A and B are shown apart, each in its own frame.
Chain A
Amino acid sequence: MNKQLLLGAEAIAQAALDAGISGVYAYPGTPSTEITEYVQKSPQAKEPFVRAAWATNEKTAYEAALGMSYAGKRSLVCMKHVGLNVAADAFMNSSVTGIHGGLVIVVADDPSMHSSQNEQDSRVYGKFAMIPVLEPANQQETYNMTRHAFDLSEQTALPVLLRIPTRLSHSRAVVTRTETRPHNNLTPSEEKGKWILLPANARRNYQQLLEKQQQLVSLSESSPYNKIMEGTGKKAVIAFGIGYNYAMEVIGSYKLQIPLLKISQYPLPEHKIKAFCDQYDDILIVEEGYPVYEELLKGYFGNLKFRGRLDGALPRTGELSPAPLAKALGLTTSETKVIPAIVAPRPPMLCQGCGHRDLFDALNLAMESYPYKQVFGDIGCYTLGALPPYNAISTCVDMGASITMAKGAADAGLRPAVCVIGDSTFTHSGMTGLLDAVNDRSPVTIIISDNDTTAMTGGQDSAGTGRFFDICKGLGVEEEHIRLMVPLKKNLNENSTILKEELDYNGVSVIISQRECVQTLKKNQKSKKLIAEN
């Protein structure tokens, strides 16, 4: 089994296992979920044991990974791009402490926002934290560079950020594996000054981080992943990460001889870049994501020889593809067929039989009698309640924001102030907001639409399953204002009455609307059937 057909995400997981990790920590998020799922299913993770259960959120995941590194073992932590916003406090400070056992953070960006609220570029975070960033172009390189990331982390005593876009995470290719190495031994760190970020220590550590930068640049200069492909003429291309694939596709199909510099390891290799750029008058910068390095190379006053997303040579937003690159290189593309007008859009929708549907029916009915019909929403399948026929949600910003935004709007005088949040999102980032509302006695109605799972990302375990009543009670919600309901068609009127009673209550109430996700239900029945058959 030396050759395997793997998704980019799976190539990371397999490489991390082969590199000798003792744990993977993550909260599910498209397009990063498959990394952790692969480790969870891998027989290789059984002996020696690799810890792989889901974390409550990205921050707890990151800190646990850092703790494993502190103890001397290698750990992997994975998240989607917006997840790094949640983990940012731990992430930024871990570059000041540095690490002990190898620590690699994989961040899966989502240019074009296939399943996300924004298309932020995680390379900016890497630069901000001043740590090495790796950006592979293909699945084999993803496998190789994950191993390289652990080596680099232990060599520099820094966390290393590996960045992949959706298109690489969710695309399959044949990957050849290398040898497996043993886990690190338990060697808890004895260096107190390194780990206790009191100001005096922090200042010294930060100075050391600054002094390390030259070493990081040298490592990038000699990295085999930053390479030049010779060519002729005065035009050239600098392609970053997966941008290399699109550039090579165009170069191959048009049989061009254009020189190309591929960058996959940061910080930028200064000398290599300078020597390359000095030779050419017209350089196309190909970056998947924000024009981060185009902006840097162009400079404040704008060196016109650098073209890319900033001057419109390439589209400013969205993921790249071969066609815009060909156009940016001045090549003519042939006419393509046109989609006939008869083709109707087919957006995603809530599944037939989904409990969120019955919740939205009951909520819309309950809201009929109020002049203000705003409902604060959150991140999950139920965000689809914003679309017709429900049109039941007014906001979707970030994980947990429904509760705190409802609280702020209630403070401003909005009545009723009501929100819908999923079970996994509630434990991810909703509980702290609920505590704020309780402490402030805010008149808010919080609906936890509990389907026993993290559904949107494919049905991963949810951190609070079966304990929502106790959690809310423990946080101080009055017991008589924690209501339970089962979202089913036959309960429509009863549920709408429960909702109205709590919408009219001048304090914090929580309604737990509980019914198992239909997809998980199907999956569980199928596996039960398989077990019974065998």
Chain B
Amino acid sequence: MQRNIIIAGVGGQGILTIASIIDLAAMNLGLHVKQAEVHGMSQRGGAVESHLRISTEEIYSDLIPLGKADMILSLEPMESLRYLPFLAPDGVIVTSTEPYENIDSYPDKTELLQKISESSSAFLVDAKSMATAAGNVMTYNVAMLGAAAPYIGMEPAELEKAIVTYFGGKGEKIVETNLNAFRLGKDNTQK
């Protein structure tokens, strides 16, 4: 088994939290993991991505080769298209529909969503509503992780365990809210 996932968004949106949860789950299962991330200047409101690779065999390259990503998981619609050259012909896009508009030249939303649907099989997720329904809009990124759960190559229960570990230090309420967001996201994709 090998899964290559690009997690995309804007600096500060919580990409690394998603990556850390998947990493934890993979490590618990004894899988090989490599996860390249962006630190430094680009984090200041710029486009950021993480290359995440999970495998039963040894992984060499920290970067996913072009055309080999199974999924682009994006916290922002325009960012889901920025990494298209990495997506495999049969890869999927799972993206939030909520634009993060911090630039003047941000494209028209309708046109953007249409382009995403044309680009590959895509799941458009209203993560903001799910996070709000879960009890805290801050769980936006975990709702997106839930939406992507069927494509990560692990049982969702393993990801739930990792969520419990990851947020464990922050108290029971935060763990519960994040689990809610994860399940709302997952159910949305599976229905």
Contacts and interface: CB of A to CB of B under 8 A. Distances in A.
9 closest A-B pairs by beta carbon, nearest first, are A30-B40, A115-B40, A348-B46, A249-B61, A171-B36, A322-B65, A171-B62, A248-B60, A348-B44
B60 A346 contact: no
B65 A173 contact: no
A374 interface: no
A114 B38 contact: yes
B82 A252 contact: no
23 contacts: A5-B24, A30-B40, A114-B41, A168-B62, A170-B37, A171-B34, A172-B33, A173-B34, A174-B33, A245-B61, A248-B60, A249-B60, A253-B65, A321-B61, A321-B66, A339-B82, A339-B84, A340-B81, A342-B112, A344-B107, A346-B45, A348-B44, A456-B41
Interface in A438-495: 456-458
Contacts of B120: 337
Given A30-B41, A248-B60, A342 B34 contact: no
A174 B23 CA distance: 9
Contacts of A457: 40
A322 B34 contact: no
B177 interface: no
B105 interface: yes
Contacts of B35: 171-173
Say which size band chain B's interface belongs to: 35 or more
A458 B78 contact: no
A502 B47 CA distance: 39
Given A172-B34, A347-B46, A167 B60 contact: no
B102 interface: yes
B28 to A, nearest CB: 10
B156 to A, nearest CB: 20
Contacts of B42: 114-115, 348
B85 A351 contact: no
Majority DSSP secondary structure for residues of A touching B? loop
Given A167-B62, A321-B63, A322-B61, A342 B111 contact: yes
Nearest to B78: A343
Given A245-B62, A339-B84, A170 B36 contact: yes
A338 B85 contact: yes
Contacts of B63: 167, 321-322
A429 B42 CA distance: 24
B81 A174 contact: no
A340 B44 CA distance: 24
Interface string A324-350: 000000000111111110111111111
A339 B33 contact: no
A256 interface: no
Nearest to A456: B41
Interface in B76-92: 78-79, 81-82, 84-87, 89
Contacts of A384: 44
B185 interface: no
Contacts of B105: 344-345
B37 A172 contact: yes
B173 to A, nearest CB: 11
A334 B78 CA distance: 25
A70 to B, nearest CB: 33
Given A5-B23, A321-B65, A336-B84, 11 more contacts: A31-B40, A167-B62, A170-B37, A171-B62, A245-B62, A321-B61, A340-B84, A344-B105, A346-B10, A346-B45, A346-B103
Contacts of B79: 346
B32 A174 contact: yes
A252 B60 contact: yes
Interface string B16-57: 000000011001000011111111111111110001000000
Contacts of B65: 249, 253, 321-323
A193 B125 CA distance: 71
Contact of B84 (A249, A337, A346, A349): A337
Interface of B: 10-11, 23-24, 27, 32-47, 51, 59-63, 65-67, 78-79, 81-82, 84-87, 89, 102-103, 105-107, 111-112, 115, 119-120
B183 to A, nearest CB: 25
A458 B85 CA distance: 31
A252 B120 CA distance: 27
Interface residues of A, number: 50
A246 interface: yes
Interface in A129-156: 138
B34 A339 contact: no
A5 B27 contact: yes
A274 interface: no
A381 interface: yes
Contacts of A167: 36, 62-63
B80 to A, nearest CB: 9
Looking at A114, A171, A346, A351, the one whose CB has the most chain B CB atoms below 10 A away is A346
A3 interface: yes
A344 B106 contact: yes
A440 B152 CA distance: 65
Contacts of B39: 30-31, 33-34, 115, 170, 458
A167 B63 CA distance: 8
A126 B181 CA distance: 51
A115 B41 contact: yes
B115 A173 contact: no
A334 B86 CA distance: 12
Interface string A163-191: 00001101111100000000000000000
Contacts of B40: 30-31, 114-115, 456-457
A463 B102 CA distance: 33
Nearest to A247: B60
B187 to A, nearest CB: 29
A170 B35 CA distance: 8
A248 B34 CA distance: 15
A252 B59 CA distance: 10
Nearest to B116: A340
Contacts of B112: 342
B44 A3 contact: no
Nearest to B86: A336
Nearest to B79: A346
B43 A348 contact: yes
A164 to B, nearest CB: 12
B85 A339 contact: yes
B93 to A, nearest CB: 10
A376 B21 CA distance: 44
Interface in A391-416: none
A321 B86 CA distance: 12
A115 B44 CA distance: 12
